[in-house]
Amino acid sequence: MQYNFLRWNNVSKLCKNCNSTALLEKTSITITKRVLIIQLLLFKVNNEVLKITNLHIKSIPSSKICIGNNIYKVNSAILHHGKNINKGHYKNLLRVKGTKWTSVNDLKVEICKWPRSAKNAYIFLLEQI
């Protein structure tokens, strides 16, 4: 079974490309029985696509997350390093076992710790437990 949540929000900012103020922001959440994927909005358009650095997220939980009546654990995270979407680098963290993580950074694969800061978090893959 799959649940979908889709919402369009009006954003009251002037688009520099078309001078329109009717910009839309799309929020889409799809929940399957076992997997939840969360994408944080990290980028904004201001003549170029810039990274939003003031997300006000203090930390990323790596153990258990309760959403509704379901409990999930983070199994993977994609991090973005860089100032904008065109000049950045992506890195993946994968849960190995329990609290052990593997960092996949191009050809470099190594055991790592879960990051304390959330400033580079972009996408989370959670599994229902």
Residues 116 and 95: their CA atoms lie apart, in Å, by: 15
Residues 74 and 17: their CA atoms lie apart, in Å, by: 38
> Could you report the per-residue pLDDT of 23-34, keeping only the tens digit for each?
556 666 666 668
Q: Which residues of the chain have pLDDT under 50?
A: 1
Are the C-beta atoms of residues 24 and 15 closer than 8 Å to each other?
no
Give the pLDDT score at 51. Answer: 59
Give the pLDDT score at 68. Answer: 75
Give the pLDDT score at 1. Answer: 43
Q: State phi, psi for 11 to the nearest 5 degrees.
A: -115, 125
